[in-house]
Structures are given as structure tokens and as C-alpha cells.
Amino acid sequence: MVLEFGWGPFFARRLSQAGAYSQSMNSGGHELPLFPKPGNRMKRARARHKPCALKELEVSVSELGLGYESDEIVLFRYCSGTCETAVRNYDLSLKNMRLKKKIKKEKVRARPCCRPLAYDDDVSFLDTYNRYYTVNELSAKECGCV
Amino acid sequence: MVLEFGWGPFFARRLSQAGAYSQSMNSGGHELPLFPKPGNRMKRARARHKPCALKELEVSVSELGLGYESDEIVLFRYCSGTCETAVRNYDLSLKNMRLKKKIKKEKVRARPCCRPLAYDDDVSFLDTYNRYYTVNELSAKECGCV
């Protein structure tokens, strides 16, 4: 993977030069198997039940929506999927405490979250005015059901 | 703290014998400061904006709702509060990818979760029929905005 090559900040522009990168985009393993084409409803149901995993997307820095104007391309990796199999005794008990009003008016989360466990190296780029920026904790490196 | 004393499974019944435990219940630091009594609306607003932290509750094993019948008391510690200050570039970008329909029909979480970073030792207890059980990952040990 391109993102693992560099020491220090990773330069966004390197992505468009990297041949190895396109291979990883095509071997994601998230495609549906080669069965007879399912209907939309079935497709949606499958999408909802995919387990938490790392996915990736090639986007321009401008498209990230962080307020920078730059056509440089970055590999944005994110966590997607459900954590149904990762429910713990903690979650079941917490849910019960809520139902029994032992915990009231409090913001608690009684289901595991599919979230990054680690982030990729900082991403550096030049904007359209040739100004240099470095952005941290932009792209996920590892996902898990926390 | 009582829960940190033992090696191996922690016995639920020890809690009711522990004098040190009540002290920690009163030093939680989650009480409202001594200002003139605020209205209900203000109280709710404050509760919503409390940052993610470890809280605790004394409950019987039966009340946990895990299917065990036992009057033994456990200290159930859980994560409560918001993670507004922990929003990362990852979250902002992911939110934008959703808005721009770059990510569709996928279960993604674009806000940090207040969740346990570690769990307490296993909890052991006897049910009303004198059967011995051990339950893992029941109570939080440390919380964080993941």
C-alpha cells in the first residue's frame, strides 16, 4: 500500500503516480458474489449486514470538504459495516439499565461502534495557491467494533 | 477501588462487604456545582453536554437483565457523555462523502463514540439455585471518544 511507504507526512500527490494503488482498489473483497442478480431490497439488506471493515475511496482534497481548495488526489480510507456480532455483556446490561430507568437523561451508547482503531499518517498537499498544508487523522488505518 | 484488588475473577458478593467502595461512589465528580438551582431545561442541556466519562451504578445481578437470577450486588461501570470535542478530520470528511453521495447505502459512523476502551475483570456470582457463573466484559474500566 502506498500509504505505508513514507516516513513522516504522506504527500497527497504521490497517489496519482502510484501503480500499486489501483490493485488494492480492486481487491477490496466487498463486491457481491456471482449469484443471480438480486433485487434492490435484497441488495440493501446485504449492505446493511456487512461486518465492520476498512473501505477506500479516491477523492480530491477539495472534495473532503475540510475547506481546502486542491485538485490533488488522496486515498480516503474509512470504516463501514455493522457490529452485530460484537455485542458484549456490557451492552446488554446497559440497554437494560436504560429500559429500567436506572439511567436517565444521559447520553450512553449501548451498541458497539464500527470505528477506526488507528489512523493513517498525516496527509500533506499543496492547494491551488501553492500553499502547503498537513492534515492529521484524516484516513483510517484499521477498523474495529469498539 | 475494590474492583482493582483481586487477581482473576471478581466476586460480586464482595461488593456489599467493601467499605472503601461507597467513598468512590461519592467522589465521582459528576454532580452539578453549587449554583442557584437551575430549571429542568437547563439541567437537561447540561446533561447532554457532559463530556464522555466513566460512571457507576450499584445493581443486583438480576437487574442486569442477562438472564441470571441472583440478589448479589455488582458495581456496574459504564461510559456516558458526549464526544463533541473529539471530532477528527476523518469524521468531517466522512460526513462530506455522505452528503456528496460518494458513499451510499453503507453503514458508516461519522461521529466519535463514547465507549469503553477497556473492561473490568470477569465478574463471578452464585445464582439463587447456588449455581456458579462468570460473566466477562460486563463493566467498563476506562472510557474514551473512539
Domain boundaries of chain A, sorted by first residue: 2-28+43-145
Q: Give B145 to chain A, closest Cα distance, Å.
A: 10
Cβ contacts of A66 on chain B, cutoff 8 Å: 89, 92-93, 96
Q: Tens digit of pLDDT for each residue in B90-115?
A: 999 999 999 999 998 899 999 999 99
- The pLDDT of residue B41 is 65
Mean pLDDT, all residues of chain A:
78
- The pLDDT of residue B40 is 67
Cβ contacts of B114 on chain A, cutoff 8 Å: 107-109
Q: What does the block give as the cell for B141?
A: 474500566
> Of the CATH numbers 1.10.10.10, 3.20.20.190, 2.10.90.10, 1.10.3720.10, which one belongs to the domain with range B2-29+48-145?
2.10.90.10
| Three-state SS letters, chain B | CHHHHCCCCEEHHHHHHCHHHHHHHHCCCCCCCCCCCCCHHHHHHHHHCCECEEEEEEEECHHHCCCCCCCCEEEEEEEECECHHHCCHHHHHHHHHHHCCCCCCCCECCCCCEEEEEECCCEEEECCCCCEEEECCCCEEEEEEC
Band of the pLDDT at A49, cuts 50, 70, 90?
confident
Q: What CATH fold (topology level) applies to the domain A2-28+43-145?
A: Cystine Knot Cytokines, subunit B (2.10.90)
CA distance B114 to B86: 10
- Contact, B127 vs A78, CB < 8 A? no
Mean pLDDT over residues A62-80, rounded?
A: 96
User: Does B97 contact A140 at a Cβ distance shorter than 8 Å?
Assistant: no
